[in-house]
Amino acid sequence: MKTRFINGQFFTMIKEDDHIDSLITEHGKIIAINDLVTKVDQVFDCQQAVVLPGFVDAHLHIAGYGQQLSLLNLNKEANKNIILEKVKHKLNGSFLYVQGHMDNGLNKHDLNTVSSTVPIVLRHSDYHGATVNDAVLKLLGKENHPTGILHELEAMEAVRLVPPTTQEQLTEFIETAIKKLQSYGITGGHSDDLYYFNGYHGTIQSFNKVLKTLPFRTHLLMHYLVLDDYLKSGDPWLDQHPYLQLGAIKIFYDGTLSSQTALMHHPYRNTDHYGERIFSKEVFRTLIKKIRQHELPIAVHTIGDQALEELADWFKEFPVKNGLHDRIIHASFALEKTVEKLKELPLIFDIQPQFLSSDLPKGLAIINPKTSLIYPWKTYMDAQLILCGSSDAPVEDPNPLLGIASAYYRQSDDDGLTYGENEKLSIFEAVKLYTTYAQVPTYLSKQRGYLKVGFDADFTLLDTNIFKHPEKLKTTKVIATIIDDHCVYDQRK
Ligand SMILES: [Zn+2]
């Protein structure tokens, strides 16, 4: 079936401002551009929309995002009555697990007014506490606890009572997440999910079930703890079917900025500690050797500048198989000398522009003032490194327009100030993060990320020309999302 897409401004992303007036698709591919002669079976009226190659989120947790969307989240609500009303509304007779509670003194007696027999756990928003009702205290053998407000280990014990995700729930999480992503104009995502829920086989099974009816270009990283399951499975690497790929092995090099465990070159402000390596160098060596034995690339969580510097040396000592790329997830801080080393290596950087908007200036208050390169996206881009845009959802809202705005404006949500004028990307570069560049990790045979003959028919339709009006990024609406020639989201319907 041939479809002609008309009445749009189609930005090819080949070079700045390069656009065409119409295109024809067939069997999931673009087969012609600016061709009004060829006979087609149907016409898709874009109604003046701006059409881009489909948005891709290069690092997120699809199942985790679906869980966040499915669970009740109190979003730090302060009003006790509103909280109790929401809990009451959600309670259906089985164990209720709620996230995002800011401890405001609400206690077991309050929760008991909703139910004292059905277990209720309100996880605190800092993840270090939980408020529970009598039913939970009974299960814990702590009937006499005065408040039901638990901290640290006691809270963890309560959270451990939450029933594990069933196969059906996991499938629901994935379906919920993908539908929401499609409504954001996202046509594909690179997701780290295979360890956290029902393991390698269970999670792939749920993805396959959803992808049968819901097209979405899913690229799954493989957590290092499921590597053996993958090796035993006999599954091929990369392409499983048109909507599912298996990618690099996900490992961790350091911790996080907020917990001061990201491995930094200078000690944290007013301290003498530098952060942490998740694995000792010996263990890391064993791990990377094993992964290379199987000729696989790695995707490494790396936040601190010292972590990045050490990784550059590891990559040099244990190079990835010819033609493949390793990935660095986050790369929030860097030393100038490291950027020089990284230039020589086949690497992809999965960056999260929204981290700047939500982390700074809080982050600046804890790192050493000597820290030089902070979210240095322009420096990376000038060094010809491949940068892919991502949200790390559920950490950030996976709306790519918000990520593009953060990359372009580098503005903090906290104080509205701009951080690092010289590291701003142009609007064209910022859009490329979520289109052309984000497609690189799906590898060479794939024709995605441009509007070109022979390329996949994955498109994002917007109501605003964001190249001309970047000031409207945050209010721009997605009109439709096309994946593999299927319209999977249409705001007009
Ligand atoms: Zn992540």
Centroid of ligand 1 to alpha carbon of 59 (angstroms): 6
Four-CA torsion 79, 83, 89, 93, nearest 10 degrees: -160
Centroid of ligand 1 to alpha carbon of 168 (angstroms): 23
Q: Which two tokens stand for residue 146?
A: 């005065």
Centroid of ligand 1 to alpha carbon of 27 (angstroms): 34
Centroid of ligand 1 to alpha carbon of 11 (angstroms): 30
Centroid of ligand 1 to alpha carbon of 192 (angstroms): 7
Centroid of ligand 1 to alpha carbon of 185 (angstroms): 21
Instruction: Find, among 260, 332, 269, 328, the residue nearest to 299 by Cα.
Output: 328
In this structure, the strands spanning 50-53 and 72-73 are unpaired
Centroid of ligand 1 to alpha carbon of 303 (angstroms): 11
Straight-line distance from the first to the last Cα atom of the chain, in angstroms, rounded to the nearest whole number: 22
Centroid of ligand 1 to alpha carbon of 82 (angstroms): 32
Centroid of ligand 1 to alpha carbon of 35 (angstroms): 42
Residue 221 to residue 487: CA distance in whole angstroms = 27
Strand positions, DSSP E, 156-303 = 186-191, 217-223, 238-241, 244-252, 298-302
Distances in Å between the alpha carbon of 97 and those of 134, 138, 169, 384?
14, 16, 14, 46
Cβ neighbours of residue 266 closer than 8 Å, sequence gap 6 or more? 274, 367, 368, 370, 371
Centroid of ligand 1 to alpha carbon of 14 (angstroms): 30
Q: Please report which residue ranges of 367-451 form alpha helices under DSSP H.
A: 377-382, 400-409, 427-433
Strand positions, DSSP E, 77-236 = 96-101, 120-124, 129-132, 149-151, 186-191, 217-223
Centroid of ligand 1 to alpha carbon of 150 (angstroms): 28
Residue 336 to residue 340: CA distance in whole angstroms = 7
The confidence score (pLDDT) of residue 445 equals 57
Centroid of ligand 1 to alpha carbon of 180 (angstroms): 18
CA–CA–CA angle 353, 354, 359 (5° rounding): 110
Q: How many CB atoms lie within 10 A of CB 348?
A: 22
Centroid of ligand 1 to alpha carbon of 64 (angstroms): 10
Query: Torsions phi, psi of 33, nearest 5?
Result: -125, 150
Q: Which residues surround ligand 1, an ion (CB under 5 A)?
A: 392
- Quote the pTM value: 0.92
The confidence score (pLDDT) of residue 126 equals 79
Centroid of ligand 1 to alpha carbon of 465 (angstroms): 30
Centroid of ligand 1 to alpha carbon of 351 (angstroms): 11
Q: Are the beta carbons of 472 and 489 closer than 8 angstroms?
A: no
What SS3 state is found at 270? Answer: coil
The confidence score (pLDDT) of residue 152 equals 86
Q: Are the beta carbons of 142 and 155 closer than 8 angstroms?
A: no
The per-residue pLDDT string of the chain (493 residues; one tens digit each, 9 = 90 and over) reads 999 999 999 999 999 999 999 999 999 999 999 999 999 999 999 999 999 999 999 999 999 999 999 999 998 899 999 999 999 999 999 999 999 999 999 999 999 999 999 999 999 987 789 999 999 999 999 999 999 999 988 999 999 999 989 999 999 999 999 999 999 999 999 999 999 898 999 999 999 999 999 999 999 999 999 999 999 999 999 999 999 999 999 999 999 888 899 999 999 999 999 999 999 999 999 999 999 999 999 999 999 999 999 999 999 999 999 999 999 999 999 999 999 999 999 999 999 999 999 989 999 999 999 999 999 999 999 999 999 999 999 989 999 999 999 999 999 999 999 999 999 999 999 999 999 988 887 765 579 999 999 999 999 999 999 999 999 999 999 999 999 999 999 998 8
Centroid of ligand 1 to alpha carbon of 462 (angstroms): 27
Cβ neighbours of residue 260 closer than 8 Å, sequence gap 6 or more? 268, 271, 273, 275, 366
Centroid of ligand 1 to alpha carbon of 67 (angstroms): 15
Centroid of ligand 1 to alpha carbon of 383 (angstroms): 25
Centroid of ligand 1 to alpha carbon of 369 (angstroms): 27
